[in-house]
């Protein structure tokens, strides 16, 4: 469990955080004012009680949700994700791939658990706003999509391997979202970082089109990668922090994709006949 001084500093940071909603900030300011009048235990308990209705509905802003997890003594949920590898320069044997395909929660675990993957970071890209927040991206006014940056060891896995897995995780016939995630911020996109990735991605997409596995056209665009902004800590490795909720979301997505693939097989069968 975090010590009270750690919680106090985080409280101050959240009050100053522009992403904190007005009502959330009001509760945090009240708690801050009470720290000099009541015991810390009472203050944290009262704040947890005030935030609970939104927390149980998963409606707190990401950083406040992390803070709430610590108030509940759920350290795994509030654990800080190390972004050092994202910020560092890649050695010669390391490369990055950026894919968008609906909610980024469901793209992290399938890639991160594969051999050769050093890190998978949830984030935002493709838009114009600097340091976008989850709420800004969700408003669909910044041009960003939810995406993942995959940092991998080229000696153990290659870009083609990643593309093959990517196609299995999305509905490539849906240009305006993915499954239950609707809107431009959930559109599928392959973001390429160099000419070689461009060539491999185009060949991979053409191979999928020629396979005729889907009854509708393949509509995933291939775009030049722009600045990738890591998402809030709450969204990093969501499958580990919130396994039950992740399982329900991932299972629904997998069921949809199974039906989609079955429809494609039926089409292939009729085409052969």
Q: Which residue has the tokens 């995780």?
A: 169
Distance of alpha carbon 22 from alpha carbon 11, whole angstroms? 14
Q: What is the pLDDT of residue 1?
A: 46
Q: How many domains does the chain have?
A: 2
Does residue 256 fall inside a structural domain? no
In a domain, 194, yes or no: yes
Q: Of 253, 254, 243, nearest to 76 (Cα)?
A: 243
141 lies in the same domain as 115: yes
Counting Cβ atoms within 10 Å, is residue 273 exposed (0-12), middle (13-18) or buried (19+)? exposed
Residue with tokens 């927040």: 133
Beta strands in 37-89, from DSSP E residues, in sequence order:
none
Nearest CA-CA partner of 96 in 74, 116, 79: 116
pLDDT of residue 270: 60
User: Which DSSP state fits 72?
Assistant: T
Last residue of a domain, one of 77, 109, 124: 77
- Tell whether 43 and 111 lie within a shared domain: no
Whether residue 118 is found in the same domain as residue 226: yes
Task: Give the CA-trace dihedral at 234, 11, 128, 82, to 10 degrees.
Answer: -50
Q: Is residue 201 part of a domain?
A: yes
- Residue 208 covered by a domain: yes
Length of the chain: 273
Q: Domain range for residue 138? A: 91-235
Domain identity same for 49 and 114: no
Q: Is residue 114 part of a domain?
A: yes
CATH classification of the domain holding 97: 3.30.1060.10
DSSP string, 81-123: P--HHHHSPPPTTEEEEEEE-S-THHHHHHHHTSTTEEEEEEE
Active site residues: 103
pLDDT at 158: 97
pLDDT along the chain (273 residues), means of 10: 70 96 97 92 95 96 96 89 96 98 96 97 96 96 97 97 97 93 96 98 97 91 98 97 94 91 66 57
For residues 35 and 144, membership in a common domain is answered with: no
Measured CA to CA, the distance from residue 20 to residue 18 in angstroms comes to 5
Q: What are phi and psi of 193, to 5 degrees?
A: -100, -10
104 shares its domain with 230: yes
- Name the nearest CA neighbour of 14 among 69, 67, 59, 88: 67
């Amino acid at each position: 469990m975090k010590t009270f001084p750690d919680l106090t500093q985080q409280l101050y940071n959240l009050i100053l955080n522009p992403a904190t909603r007005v009502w959330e900030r009001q509760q945090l300011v009240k708690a801050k004012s009470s720290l000099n009048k009541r015991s810390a235990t009472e203050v944290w308990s009262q704040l947890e009680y005030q935030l609970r209705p939104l927390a149980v509905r998963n409606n707190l802003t990401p950083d406040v949700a992390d803070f709430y997890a610590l108030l509940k003594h759920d350290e795994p949920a509030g654990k800080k994700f190390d972004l050092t590898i994202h910020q560092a320069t890649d050695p010669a044997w390391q490369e990055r791939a950026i894919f968008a395909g609906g909610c980024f929660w469901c793209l992290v675990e399938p890639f991160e658990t594969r051999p050769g993957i050093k890190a998978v970071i949830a984030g935002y890209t493709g838009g114009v706003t600097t340091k976008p927040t989850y709420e800004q991206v969700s408003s669909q006014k910044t041009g960003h999509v939810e995406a993942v940056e995959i940092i991998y060891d080229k000696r153990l896995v290659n870009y083609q391997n990643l593309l093959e897995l990517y196609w299995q995780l999305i509905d490539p016939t849906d240009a305006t979202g993915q499954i239950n995630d609707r809107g431009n911020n959930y559109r599928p996109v392959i973001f390429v970082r160099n000419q070689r990735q461009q060539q491999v991605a185009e060949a991979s997409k053409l191979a999928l089109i020629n396979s005729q596995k889907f009854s509708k056209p393949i509509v995933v665009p291939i775009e030049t990668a722009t600045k990738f902004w890591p998402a809030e800590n709450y969204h990093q490795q969501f499958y580990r922090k919130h396994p039950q909720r992740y399982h329900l979301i991932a299972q629904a997505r997998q069921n949809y994709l199974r039906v989609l693939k079955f429809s494609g097989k039926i089409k292939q069968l009729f085409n052969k006949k």
